[in-house]
């Protein structure tokens, strides 16, 4: 794949250049020293993946991501050496369409080798997620008989999102009032290291309690749980959440499909599912499984998506009962939940 680097620190540029060269299967085609130059370089020669830093002069990485996705869309991977000071800009960038984020590898040592391997794996996965290279999703799992809705459980709002998801989730959560009748669980494609920061960022946008989902959690009314591991978040026995190790070949970790299928198999209550903006097709087959088993399903419309991949795949399968703009989803959820409680 052809790679563009956007970073104003010579040492970090050298580290990334070396990691790309040592991979033996990717090519560095240009380097930009700030966001403004990155926008110009993408217009001149569009790479397969942009490795985008966040804290730069003239134009930061979040604004550069917005401009690139608006003018010359391409896969963008955030690569940062300081997650703490750049957390807000990270989620802004993902809201504009950045696909994932990872740490800048150290120059030497075991930690550097580990982070370099993680970076190359993410680049490889982005290649697999390009529309023409996306593998066919797995067949849905069969739903077991005998599960019935219980009045003790709050209605579940199950959400899957990827590129552009943070902004879409923020829009929805800002419009949900306190006293929300549902229990929301979100699977967003994001590296586990960034999940706690994203939960805190979403908490700032919401009147509901937002936190990372823990092993054994039972979704509660008025609470939002966010998948917080590179393992899959699924429902296990008794309708409690837990993490499971996926296959080494899994492109999506955590997987929306795995989560949606587990609702059919393990969640004993009522549920509504939403599939939001994202690249690829994760969640489409799971949403179809939910619809076929009587659950209410919603997909985000093309106009309001940062990346119309996952909802488009759902539309192709006729997996969504409704297709809505992100600005209308909170009100629709309120109306649907009124009929479930």
- Per-residue pLDDT, averaged over 231-242, amounts to 94
66 CB-near residues (< 8 Å, 6+ apart): 93, 96, 97
Fold classification of 2-133 is Rossmann fold (3.40.50)
pLDDT in tens, 85-143: 777 888 889 888 888 888 888 876 787 788 899 899 889 888 776 543 333 223 232 33
**pLDDT for residue 188 is more than 70:** yes
- Residue 293 pLDDT exceeds 70: yes
C-alpha angle 188-194-197 in degrees, rounded to nearest 5: 100
Q: Answer yes or no: is pLDDT of 150 > 50.
A: no
SS (H, E, C) 276-299: CCECCCCCHHHHHHHHHCCCEEEE
The residues that are catalytic are 162, 189, 282
pLDDT for position 130 = 59
pTM: 0.82
Q: Where in the chain is the domain with CATH 3.40.50.2300?
A: 2-133
Q: What residue spans in the chain does CATH classification 3.40.50.180 cover?
A: 156-340
Taking each helix axis from N to C end, the angle separating 329-340 and 165-174, rounded to the nearest 10 degrees, works out to 60
pLDDT of the residue at 319: 98
* Residues 103, 114: Cα–Cα separation, whole Å: 10
- State what percent of residues in the chain have pLDDT above 90: 67
Tokens of 267: 């969640």
The model's pLDDT over 194-218, given as tens digits with 9 standing for 90+, comes to: 899 999 999 999 999 999 999 999 9
Task: Reply yes or no on whether the pLDDT at 82 is more than 90.
Answer: no
Mean pLDDT (the chain) is 88
Give residues with Cβ within 8 angstroms of 263, minimum separation 6: 156, 158, 235, 271, 273, 290, 295
Is a pLDDT exceeding 80 seen at residue 248?
no
CA–CA dist 323, 256 (Å, integer) = 18
Who has greater pLDDT, 26 or 141?
26
Cα-flanking dihedrals φ and ψ of residue 66, to 5°?
-60, -45
| pLDDT for position 88 | 80
What is the CATH code for 156-340? 3.40.50.180
């Amino acid at each position: 794949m052809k790679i563009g680097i956007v970073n104003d620190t010579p040492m970090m540029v050298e580290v990334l250049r070396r990691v790309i060269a040592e991979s033996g299967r990717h090519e560095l085609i240009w380097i930009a020293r700030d966001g403004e130059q990155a926008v110009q370089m993408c217009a001149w020669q569009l790479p397969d993946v942009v490795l985008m830093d966040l804290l730069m002069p003239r134009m930061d990485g979040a604004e550069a991501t917005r401009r690139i996705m608006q003018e010359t869309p391409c896969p963008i991977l955030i690569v940062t050496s300081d997650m703490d000071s750049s957390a807000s800009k990270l989620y802004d960038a993902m809201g504009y369409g950045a696909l994932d984020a990872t740490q800048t590898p150290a120059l030497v040592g075991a930690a550097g080798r580990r982070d370099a391997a993680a970076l190359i794996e993410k680049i490889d996965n982005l290649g697999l997620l390009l529309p023409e290279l996306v593998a066919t999703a797995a067949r849905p799992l069969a739903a077991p008989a005998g599960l019935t809705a219980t009045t003790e459980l709050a209605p579940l709002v199950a959400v899957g999102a990827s590129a552009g998801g943070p902004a879409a989730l923020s829009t929805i959560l800002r419009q949900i009032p306190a006293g929300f009748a549902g229990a929301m669980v979100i699977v967003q494609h994001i590296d586990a290291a960034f999940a706690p920061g994203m939960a805190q960022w979403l908490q700032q946008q919401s009147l509901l309690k937002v936190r990372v989902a823990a092993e054994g959690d039972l979704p509660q009314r008025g609470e939002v749980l966010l998948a917080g591991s590179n393992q899959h978040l699924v429902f296990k026995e008794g309708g409690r959440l837990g993490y499971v190790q996926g296959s080494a070949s899994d492109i999506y970790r955590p997987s929306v499909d795995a989560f949606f299928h587990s609702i059919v198999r393990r969640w004993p209550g009522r549920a509504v599912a939403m599939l939001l903006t994202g690249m690829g097709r994760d969640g489409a087959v799971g949403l179809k499984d939910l619809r076929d088993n009587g659950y209410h399903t919603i997909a985000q419309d093309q106009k309001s998506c940062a990346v119309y991949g996952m909802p488009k795949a759902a539309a192709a399968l006729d997996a969504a009962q409704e297709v809505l703009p992100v600005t209308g989803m909170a009100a629709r959820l309120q109306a649907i939940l009124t009929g479930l409680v």
